[in-house]
Amino acid sequence: MLALRTISIFCCVLVFILAASPARPLQSRIENRTDSKTGGKENSAKALKAVKRTVWNLDGGAFFSTEGHLPSGSCFRLTGQVSAPDFFDGLRRIDTAEGSTYMLHDKTVTAYPDELFLTVHLLDFPCSADLKETLVRPPLTRELMSTLRLNFFWKEGVAMRPVESSKRTAASVRRLESYVTGPAAEKLAPRFEWNYQFTVTSEGVPLTNDLILIIENDDHTIAARTAARL
């Protein structure tokens, strides 16, 4: 049985601060089209088959977003992006009734590049959008973050397998500004955004596989799960 590839979310954070990345849109549909294929003569009135296709823009890579919560009562939002130099720019997914095809500059591609770059933002976030909620939730502290683990898997259909190799390359913490000002602000617990960068080995992995991210606490309870999919 393969061992899980587990990474400590907060451990030996680098002293430099990464610039906060602006929110980027998810993949968008750029074309809906129906092509009619006819048999026999070109001007035949009878169409044998109508082929519907949808083209998706994958520029910039794969994006993901979800919300998570911890037994302590803390909540967070997890967002991020999977990218690779020169690979995703111009990449398109074409969906038809026969399945999906990936095109990069008019060339069919079937697998990821040898290595992917993964950016993860973990934001201290309200547990509820209800403004009337008065329960004070604990913030995400350094001590709490040190108990979390990040697992990477490749998912094909319902089967999941651990990634072969991954490495954290950067980490930083940014304190969030409070909307409260004056003396009242001093009584509020500080809130933070945690930023991480990883490399993930992806040589030979089909583009139809999803990269699954699972955050667990120290007793292996899942705090958040999301997928970067093309």
Q: What is the pLDDT of residues 186-219, one digit of tens each?
A: 667 778 899 999 999 999 999 999 999 999 998 8
Q: What is the mean pLDDT of residues 98-113?
A: 94
Please check whether residue 183 lies inside any domain of the structure.
Answer: yes
Q: Which of 159, 138, 130, 164 is nearest to 4 (CA)?
A: 164
Please check whether residue 206 lies inside any domain of the structure.
Answer: yes
Please check whether residue 202 lies inside any domain of the structure.
Answer: yes
Expressed as residue numbers, the domain containing 77 is: 6-15+61-84+111-228
* pLDDT recorded at residue 139: 83
* pLDDT recorded at residue 13: 40
Max CA pair span of the chain: 82
Total number of residues shown for the chain: 230
> In whole angstroms, what is the distance from residue 48 CA to residue 83 CA?
41
More reliable by pLDDT, 124 or 67: 67
Tell me, what CATH number does 165's domain have?
2.60.40
Q: Which of 194, 182, 211 is nearest to 83 (CA)?
A: 211
Q: What is the mean pLDDT of residues 165-169?
A: 96
> In whole angstroms, what is the distance from residue 173 CA to residue 175 CA?
7
What's the mean pLDDT when you consider all of the chain? 80
Please check whether residue 97 lies inside any domain of the structure.
Answer: no
* pLDDT recorded at residue 23: 40
Please check whether residue 144 lies inside any domain of the structure.
Answer: yes
* pLDDT recorded at residue 14: 33
Among 2-11, 67-76, 149-158, the range of highest mean pLDDT? 149-158
Please check whether residue 49 lies inside any domain of the structure.
Answer: no
> In whole angstroms, what is the distance from residue 162 CA to residue 67 CA?
22
* pLDDT recorded at residue 174: 87
* pLDDT recorded at residue 18: 32
Please check whether residue 157 lies inside any domain of the structure.
Answer: yes
* Number of compact structural domains in the chain: 1
Please check whether residue 67 lies inside any domain of the structure.
Answer: yes
